[in-house]
Amino acid sequence: MSRLDLSLVEIEVRSGPPITSEQFAQAVAARKALSRFLMGYRGALEEMLTKIKILKEEFEIVHDYSPIEHVSSRMKSPESIMAKVDLRGLERDFTVIRGNIFDIAGIRITCSFISDIYTLADMLTNQKDVEVLQVKDYVAEPKPNGYQSLHLILSVPVFLSDRVEEVPVELQIRTVAMDFWASLEHKIYYKFDKDVPAHIVAELRQAAEVANSLDQKMERLRTEVNSLQT
């Protein structure tokens, strides 16, 4: 079964008229196919998290400093996946989804300094089993609303019993200041159901500039401190 059909997956738990044995068998097969599909993403997520953990521990031991402040991860729900598939007009097929939807598994890393973003990105993308599928540098070129972050789509191998799957993982790397702004902006847009008053949008844009100014100042201070210690 290659198609992702939530109506079949959900048929087991919906109330209503009794289902036929054929419908039940289809539902079980659909749920199994979906679980197997998502299992690959969970494996890729764990693979990337392990890589990040090793790098963090190495830096703390060898360099007495880690560019990684915080790491979080998430998996899209089947409902969210389907909503995005339908929004983009894609076929409900596992192969099509894997080739077009790259944020099913996602990791967010916060760093102290802007330079740490690129240091960490280089360390991860230079690993031999990691393939870079896409790079969107919203640090160098922020979005019009002020959003900043480095977005990477990385493909990592997941070794299953009968095959190796190359699975995409979305990686977002940003500073603490960038993350604070993005979190606040998300909450405000959610509160206003995305219809945010113009003056608040303008204030958010100014806040993004302040956050960027702080990041730049902290980067300069770090450079000065390091030069004084050498």
38, 110 Cβ separation under 8 angstroms: no
Encode 85-115: b = buried (16+ Cβ within 10 Å), e = exposed.
Answer: beeeeeeeebeebbeebbbbbbbbbbbbbbe
CA distance 37 to 96: 12
57, 91, 170, 224: the active-site residue: 170
CA distance 64 to 122: 20
Instruction: Look up residue 46 and give its two tokens.
Output: 């764990």
Q: SS3 for 112?
A: coil
170 is catalytic: yes
Closest CA to 85 of 71, 100, 70: 100
Closest CA to 169 of 2, 47, 4: 47
- Residues taking part in catalysis: 170
